């Protein structure tokens, strides 16, 4: 071997392989992986400049996971545990991303997946994913919160493993995102902003950062959790019966881990706020302008940061901030194409095209 060549990097085997020793998983766990995790932490200095400048801003792009969302981190753990204890089927309620992730990991493990989705509000790419991976997709004439209550009951009555984030192993797996951020930056950021729906992710990040602080003294971030105005039970202080938002992933009125989300915000000396659908869509556009296309819910964390800066409640100067973008834009193409003017059709002639392209 040529001694000048760089050494082969250690092959990457997914989050359980890399961080399993830090996760509280039972002995019987049998790893099922699609090599999730190890997602990019992308610097976005130009976006930081438009938000006032003088600070470091990174996007943790979780849309780069195998099924296009952060859910894969928790799902590898939940499915690995379920397989190890002999489960033959798994079930979840979902606004879409959990469904696609559960379906993929169940397929990988040879298990049956059943997903309950709220009627008509699941983005096309997520539903297509669940179907493609072979899940049984059941649509109910009700909300995500109704679906969640039902799958809890079904899993109590039948030998079907529940893989929503009520399942503690989901949280264990999702802690790995916090570990990765600390490992990449060398310490925890000053602030972490992220969207909040059922509140599993914020709970997992806070647990992960706390664990790393205890182990490595890596510091703790303040956490800014962001809900959509029409689905903001944690800001209002009570459940929302009919949650409504363009960010369908976080269209949740009664977060299962709401108490823990509030605790994470309080203990970290952060906060949970709400932003409008317009602010979410505007931030989706700004991120796309950086070459990072995320689904609407995923833009909520940064939209919240922009909101707080604009209101003069947040001074980012000198800080290092990480925004978690939880899912890929490809999951929800309709939100873009719905408002898009269909491209005009021209004859395939050089003079015509030159005229069109160079017009202004």
The answer to whether 199 and 255 have CB atoms below 8 angstroms apart is yes
| 98 versus 268: smaller Cβ distance to ligand AN7 | 98
Smallest distance, Å, CB 262 to ligand AN7? 13
CA angle 321, 323, 326 (to 5 degrees): 160
Work out how close the CB of 143 gets to ligand AN7 at its nearest, in angstroms, rounded to a whole number.
12
Binding of residue 280 to ligand AN7 (CB under 6 A): no
Residues with Cβ within 8 Å of residue 158, at least 6 apart in sequence? none
DSSP structure string for 20-36: GGGS---TT--------
CB of 296 to ligand AN7, least distance (A): 8
Where in 86-125 is the site for ligand AN7 (CB under 6 A)?
A: 94-98
Which whole-number Å values give the CA distances from 94 to 82, 107, 181, 225, in the listed order? Answer: 18, 17, 27, 20
Is 201 near ligand AN7 (CB under 6 A)? yes
- For residues 176 to 195, the per-residue mask of contacts with ligand AN7, x marking binding by CB under 6 A and - elsewhere, is -------------------x
Q: What's the min distance (Å) between Cβ of 345 and ligand AN7? A: 35
> Is 312 buried (19+), middle (13-18) or exposed (0-12) by CB count in 10 A?
exposed
> Of the ranges 2-10, 23-31, 32-40, 197-205, which one interacts with ligand AN7 (CB under 6 A)?
197-205
Smallest distance, Å, CB 64 to ligand AN7?
A: 13
Q: Interface residues for ligand AN7 in 321-360 (CB under 6 A)? A: 326-327
Angle at 278 between CA 360 and CA 265, to 5 degrees: 135
Query: In the bound complex, what is the minimum distance in angstroms from residue 300's beta carbon to ligand AN7?
Result: 7
Q: Which of 199, 220, 275, 302 binds ligand AN7 (CB under 6 A)?
A: 199
Angstrom distances, CA of residue 47 to CA of 12, 278, 291, 302: 31, 18, 11, 10
> CA-to-CA distance for 105 and 72, rounded, in angstroms?
8
Q: Minimal CA–CA distance to 52: which of 280, 316, 324?
A: 316
Q: Which is nearer to ligand AN7, 80 or 97 (CB)?
A: 97
User: Between residue 282 and residue 301, which ones bind ligand AN7 under the rule CB under 6 A?
Assistant: 295, 297-298
| Shortest spacing between CB 109 and ligand AN7, in angstroms | 19
**62-91 footprint of ligand AN7 as x/- string (CB under 6 A):** -------x----------------------
* Closer Cβ to ligand AN7, 55 or 104, answer by number: 104
Residues 210-249 binding ligand AN7 (CB under 6 A) are: 249
How many alpha carbons fall within 13 Å on the CB side of residue 77?
30
Does the protein bind ligand AN7 through residue 165 (CB under 6 A)? Answer: yes
Q: Assess contact for 249 and 280: CB atoms under 8 A.
A: no
Helix (H, G, I), strand (E, B) or coil at 37: coil
Contacts with ligand AN7 by CB under 6 A lie at 69, 94-98, 165, 195-202, 249-250, 295, 297-298, 326-327
């Amino acid at each position: 071997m040529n001694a000048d060549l760089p050494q082969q990097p250690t092959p990457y085997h997914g989050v359980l392989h890399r961080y399993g020793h830090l996760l509280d998983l039972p002995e019987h766990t049998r790893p099922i992986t699609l090599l999730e995790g190890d997602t990019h932490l992308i610097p976005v200095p130009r976006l930081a400049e438009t938000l006032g400048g003088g600070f470091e801003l990174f996007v943790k792009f979780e849309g780069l996971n195998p099924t296009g969302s952060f859910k894969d981190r928790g799902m590898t753990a939940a499915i690995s545990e379920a397989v190890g204890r002999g489960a033959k089927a798994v079930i979840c309620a979902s606004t879409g991303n959990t469904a696609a992730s559960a379906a993929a990991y169940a397929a990988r493990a040879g298990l049956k997946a059943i997903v309950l989705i709220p009627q008509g509000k699941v983005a096309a790419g997520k539903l297509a994913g669940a179907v493609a991976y072979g899940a049984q997709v059941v649509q109910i004439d009700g909300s995500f919160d109704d679906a969640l209550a039902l799958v809890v009951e079904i899993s109590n009555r039948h030998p079907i493993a529940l893989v929503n984030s009520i399942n503690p192993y989901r949280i264990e797996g999702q802690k790995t995102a916090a570990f990765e951020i600390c490992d990449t930056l060398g310490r925890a950021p000053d602030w972490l902003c992220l969207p909040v729906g059922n509140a599993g992710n914020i709970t997992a990040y806070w647990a992960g950062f706390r664990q790393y602080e205890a182990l490595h003294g890596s510091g703790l971030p303040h956490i800014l959790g962001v809900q959509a105005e029409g689905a903001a039970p944690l800001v209002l202080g009570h459940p929302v019966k009919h949650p409504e938002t363009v960010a369908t992933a976080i269209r949740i009125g009664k977060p299962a881990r709401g108490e823990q989300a509030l605790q994470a915000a309080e203990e970290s000396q952060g906060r949970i706020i709400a932003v409008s659908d317009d602010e979410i869509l505007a931030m989706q556009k700004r991120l796309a302008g950086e070459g990072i296309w995320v689904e609407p819910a995923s833009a909520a964390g940064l939209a919240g940061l922009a909101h707080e800066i604009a209101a003069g409640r947040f001074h980012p100067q000198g800080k290092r901030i990480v925004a978690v973008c939880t899912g890929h834009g490809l999951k929800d193409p309709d939100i873009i194409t719905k408002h898009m003017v269909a491209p005009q059709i021209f004859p395939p002639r050089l003079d015509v095209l030159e005229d069109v392209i160079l017009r202004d």
